[in-house]
Chains A and B, each alone.
Chain A
Amino acid sequence: MLAYAIRRIAMMVPSLAGIIVITFILTRVLPGDPALMITGEQALPEFVDKVRAQYGFDQPLLVQLWEYLKQLARGDLGYAWHTGHPVASDFITRFPATLELTLASMIIALIVALPLGILGAAKQNSVFDHIARFLSFVGSSVPIFWLGLLLIALFYSKLGWLPAPVGRISDGIYPPTHVTGLYVVDSLLSWDMVALKDSLLHLLMPAFCLSMGTIAIVTKMIRASMLEVIKQDFMRTAKAKGLSETAVICKHGLMNSLIPALTVIGLQFGYLLGGAVITETIFAWPGVGNYVTESILSADYAPIQAMTLISAVLYGAVNLLVELLYGVLDPRVRYD
């Protein structure tokens, strides 16, 4: 398994090299003069030229690319002028917020999608099945930004059940002591129940909003693979042995239908990172998604390059992890 993992990581290198070049070219054709954006419209032309030279924007594209590669090799992700911080430090500050949101939405998605998909398949063409199929269609059709606004209007504005959709914790409440950066986990670790309740309430709407697409696709996938598994001989044998239907479905059916579903779940992490851009914008969530939007709107090269590279690396890492999990779920899987 280790040799396979190393080989897979080595295979990611050409893809990552491609991503670095593509992102570099894309960001260099962004409209607007970055030197002017750094100095401001009112700056003297001499000062703008000085900044242009300082950041190397006056160099030919290939020279800039070479410099960028050397910088990456040193582990330096560059400097975000719109925040005034190195990109790495911005990323470290903001990533826990996105991770917390992504993990929470994945948990919600699995809690909803697993039973729905299983019930849909076990009771094919029943009411459950129709609900599962309808929800999976609706979930993939509803735009996140629209759903987010409707949730805010209903649960914050109309019913007043949830706090204002701004950030991760209410203004008057101290964030928990920093351990992992995930407010819910940190509140539990420091046993700060006030912060725990408030951060959970803040997390609920954006996480649910982000989970809709994943609920749709995971329900569909679990249902489809479960329907395939149900027809297999070993399922009939398990029933013939006298096992209850629940045991047959949950013990034999679910384990065998998890592999295709796991692939989709892995791929969904990539989707969640993309979806977080919209969700974080609507809920003023101080994560990486919001950072990407700000960087794109202010034509700040370094963070856009770094964030696309990081998200591609994360995406690749999650998919590798998923492939390695196949072997855990199914002992027949061999990594040759």
Chain B
Amino acid sequence: MIKLRTLLRNRLTVIGLSIVSVWILLALLAPLLAPYHPNELNPEDKLLPPNSEHWFGTDNFGRDIFSRVLYGARVTVWTGMVSVGIACVIGIPLGAVAGYFGGKTGNLIMRAMDSLLAFPSLILAMALAASIGPGLLGALLAVGIVAIPEFARLMYGQTVVIKEHEYIEASRALGVRHHWILLHHVLPNAFGPLLVQITLGLGSAVLTTSSLNFIGLGVRPPTAEWGAMISYGRDYILSGEWWMTVFPGLAIATTIFGFFLLGDGLRDELDPHSRSTK
């Protein structure tokens, strides 16, 4: 298994982990840290630039953008975890079964995954989000479903290699059941690459979800969500009210940056071949 100390040797991993941890902490502590309620309307304070009372300024309804960015982190962390969770729960078993048993079933599963991969992911996510219906649930299900083939493909590749190892053959010879082998031998040995994919997948999930929310295929008003906040700010950026757009955008970019740095750092440490090219 992977040792934490080994992972923390890599600077990228440490920086990525720090950024991600800060956002997770901010999300958890949002009710304590936010100076205002995210949906509190103050028409007399509308469109105020950043100042000592409203650090990130206020929006067109007078809502405090700093508080909304903090609460937006909760939505983002939740969406990322749930959608990647869906992709893992469905994609990993599908890939493992296809790789381990092979044959017609395996072929059918992987061809279905290839068909899904042939779609531009954002278009597929948009169609799914629209079909599931308005709301955050639709967006996170859509993002999760779109990510399933990536996990299935990775797990398939890992399983095909791992199942040829001698200890698997030995387990089979001892009469160990297939599901036990998959759960106790194949899965733990594929953990490293899966962890990298989960981390990178979280970054992609944040990006796709915020894109869906920006288009209007996600959270309903007045929920504070970064992509939706940028969408509200869209009409005001030309008249100079940049803070409505800039701060939620920075929040999205730094979160994705953190996940990608962490994922890359993990890959560096877990894959010696990749490390040699860094």
Contact = CB atoms under 8 A, between A and B. Distances in A.
Nearest to B254: A141
Contact of A141 (B118, B240, B245, B256): B256
A274 B122 contact: yes
Contacts of B252: 143, 146
A291 to B, nearest CB: 11
Nearest to A312: B118
Given A152-B238, A275-B122, A312-B119, A145 B127 contact: no
A273 B230 CA distance: 22
Interface in B165-209: 203, 207
A304 B123 CA distance: 9
A153 B238 contact: yes
A277 B126 contact: yes
Nearest to A156: B238
Interface string B84-128: 000000000000000000000000000110111011111110111
B249 A293 contact: no
Given A137-B260, A271-B120, A157 B249 contact: no
B127 A27 contact: yes
Q: Is the interface of B mostly helix, strand, loop or mixed?
A: helix
Nearest to B259: A141
Central interface residue in A22, A144, A227, A275, by most chain B CB within 10 Å:
A22
Interface in B214-265: 214-217, 227, 230, 233-234, 237-238, 240, 242, 245-246, 249, 252-254, 256-257, 260-261, 264
Nearest to A31: B133
Nearest to B249: A146
Interface of A (DSSP majority class): helix
Contacts of A27: 127, 131
Nearest to B115: A18
Contacts of A35: none
Interface in A150-173: 150, 152-153, 156-157
Of listed B112, B131, B210, residue having the most chain A CB within 10 A: B131
Given A145-B230, A150-B249, A281-B215, A15 B127 contact: no
B123 A307 contact: yes
B210 A143 contact: yes
A127 interface: no
Nearest to A304: B127
A30 B230 CA distance: 26
Contact of A15 (B111, B121, B124, B126): B111
A307 B126 CA distance: 13
A185 interface: no
B202 to A, nearest CB: 12
Interface residues of A, number: 50
Contact of B130 (A31, A142, A312): A31
User: In the complex, which of the residues B118, B245, B256 has the most CB atoms of chain A within 10 Å of its own CB atom?
Assistant: B118
A144 B121 CA distance: 15
B130 A274 contact: no
Contacts of A270: 118, 120
A180 interface: no
B13 interface: no
A328 interface: no
A26 interface: yes
A224 B133 CA distance: 42
Interface string B15-58: 00000000000000000000000000000000000000000000
A145 B214 contact: yes
A322 to B, nearest CB: 15
B123 A141 contact: no
A23 to B, nearest CB: 8
Interface of A: 14-15, 18-19, 22-23, 26-27, 29-31, 137-138, 140-146, 149-150, 152-153, 156-157, 223-224, 227-228, 270-271, 273-275, 277-278, 281, 292-293, 296-297, 299, 304, 307-308, 311-312, 315-316
22 contacts: A18-B112, A19-B118, A22-B116, A140-B260, A141-B256, A143-B207, A143-B211, A145-B211, A149-B234, A150-B249, A152-B237, A153-B237, A153-B245, A157-B238, A227-B277, A274-B120, A275-B122, A281-B215, A292-B126, A307-B123, A308-B123, A315-B120
Interface of B: 111-112, 114-116, 118-124, 126-128, 130-131, 133-134, 203, 207, 210-211, 214-217, 227, 230, 233-234, 237-238, 240, 242, 245-246, 249, 252-254, 256-257, 260-261, 264, 276-277
Given A19-B115, A296-B130, 17 more contacts: A15-B115, A22-B116, A140-B256, A141-B256, A141-B257, A142-B253, A143-B210, A143-B214, A144-B211, A146-B230, A149-B245, A270-B120, A273-B123, A274-B123, A278-B215, A312-B118, A315-B120
